[in-house]
Amino acid sequence: MSTELIIDSSNGSDVQIALLKDGRLHELQKEVEGRQFQVGDIYLGKVKKTVPGLNAAFVDVGYEKDAFLHYHDLGPQVKSLLKYQKRTTTGRQKWALENFQREQDINKNGKIDEVLKKGMDVLVQVAKEPISTKGPRISSEISIAGRYLVLMPFSDRISVSSKIPDREERNRLRRLIESIRPKGFGVIIRTVATGKKVADLHQDMNDLVKRWKNMHRLLPRKKAPYRILTEMDRATAILRDVFNESFSSIVVDDEELFNDVKEYIGTIAPEKENIVKLYQGRIPSFEHFGIERQIKAAFGRSVSMSKGAYLIVEHTEALHVVDVNSGNRSNSKENQEQNALEVNLIAAKEIARQLRLRDMGGIIVVDFIDMQKKENRQALYNGLKEAMDEDRAKHK
């Protein structure tokens, strides 16, 4: 499968990013100039109030609406984080955690006002960007993501992506990370670390530790609300998360952005640097590569699929509903079960694509075509699960 990334900045100050697989649109992202509160950004926030009824707190992070922090999003080591933060702001704490005495984990069934009080400063990370009238959703379980690794302070755990199935490779990666990780930091090993040498992993680890050090250096100097650590721009963040050997082309229509992307690819995959190309056509790149047409076709209420089948997508305040329709396919009794399975499997792939394209989250109800045979229902379940494997968002 050939993968392409098209980055278009022809629409004023906004940057649009399209991920294509075999020429078909799979992801669409938008980078708005000056937009704050990206997922992964870390803020020094101030607790405005606690709401025992919701078991949550509202935290000022500089957005017009206060951010929402639920008790379950505090993270078990929040007391260690608060202690580290206090010691850092008073100049008594170095960046390293090897001699840091961690506090006990909080009770998973505890109350928000047992941990946070009005007026307290707290380090938080954006878990969900603000939408409509709601402020950002935040967490105080801090993590810093790199190309191959995710750094988790106040932990000693090394976790390996479940998408790395080979036991020997999992053990190899664990041994390597155990030898290079700083004490007091846990590490999540990402799927793209498969087969990488210790030098690559060590470089990524050093970059993550450097970002932690920068955050530590800023803490005593800044007053809440303040963005302490920012995620990389959306284009580079997508490349960090999805770039692999299947990428055949990265097309950018802005020279400055082209240089940034080329430099980043040169750092993580020097052998692929030549696939980064500067687009200089007269018409916008999205129009040239047929992406505008795909966007118009993909975002309507009705979504056409192969062999005459189609989806109806409805959005409500509480949930999203998808109805699967067979269209003009044969309805003869002999073929009905097989037809239903075939349409449902086509729909499963398209639904997984639509969830990414539309950035749909929360409760999603899909009305597949009824099937009588248990083995066919199981095949559909497996098909949808496989189609969703590419989705980086957590899902069940």
Distance (Å, rounded) from C-alpha 41 to C-alpha 230? Answer: 5
Q: Dump pLDDT digits (tens) for 90-115.
A: 888 899 998 899 999 999 889 999 99
Cis check for the bond before 52: say yes or no (omega within 30 of 0).
Answer: no
Lowest mean pLDDT among 107-116, 156-165, 264-273: 264-273
Give the pLDDT band (50/70/90) at residue 329: low
* C-alpha radius of gyration, the chain, whole number: 23
Give burial (CB, 10 Å; 0-12/13-18/19+) of 314: exposed
Contact 89, 144 (CB under 8 A): no
Distance (Å, rounded) from C-alpha 46 to C-alpha 191? Answer: 36
Average pLDDT over residues 299-322: 84
The DSSP call for residue 131 is B
CA distances from 84 to 46, 72, 80, 229 (A): 16, 20, 6, 16
Lowest mean pLDDT among 182-186, 221-225, 244-248, 318-322: 244-248
Distance (Å, rounded) from C-alpha 172 to C-alpha 161? Answer: 13
Question: Where does residue 99 fall: left (phi above 0), alpha (psi -120 to 50 degrees), or beta otherwise?
Answer: alpha
Instruction: Provide the whole-model pTM.
Output: 0.70
**Percentage with pLDDT > 90 across the chain:** 37
Average pLDDT over residues 214-224: 90
Q: Dump pLDDT digits (tens) for 380-390.
A: 999 999 888 87
Distance (Å, rounded) from C-alpha 226 to C-alpha 18? Answer: 31
pLDDT given for residue 303 in this prediction: 83
pLDDT given for residue 327 in this prediction: 76
| Token pair 């960046």 in the structure block, residue | 95
Rounded to 5 degrees, what are φ and ψ at 240? -60, -40
Instruction: Give alpha helix (H) positions in 155-219.
Output: 167-180, 198-218
Q: Has residue 70 got a pLDDT over 90?
A: yes
Distance (Å, rounded) from C-alpha 72 to C-alpha 30? Answer: 30
Which segment, 13-27, 194-208, 316-330, is predicted with the most confidence on average?
A: 194-208
Distance (Å, rounded) from C-alpha 214 to C-alpha 192? Answer: 26
Comparing CA positions, the residue from 186, 194, 133 lying closest to residue 161 is 194
pLDDT given for residue 153 in this prediction: 94
Distance (Å, rounded) from C-alpha 102 to C-alpha 282? Answer: 59
Residue length of the chain:
396
Contact 281, 36 (CB under 8 A): no
Contact 309, 341 (CB under 8 A): no
pLDDT given for residue 380 in this prediction: 93
Average pLDDT over residues 262-287: 85
Distance (Å, rounded) from C-alpha 66 to C-alpha 250? Answer: 38
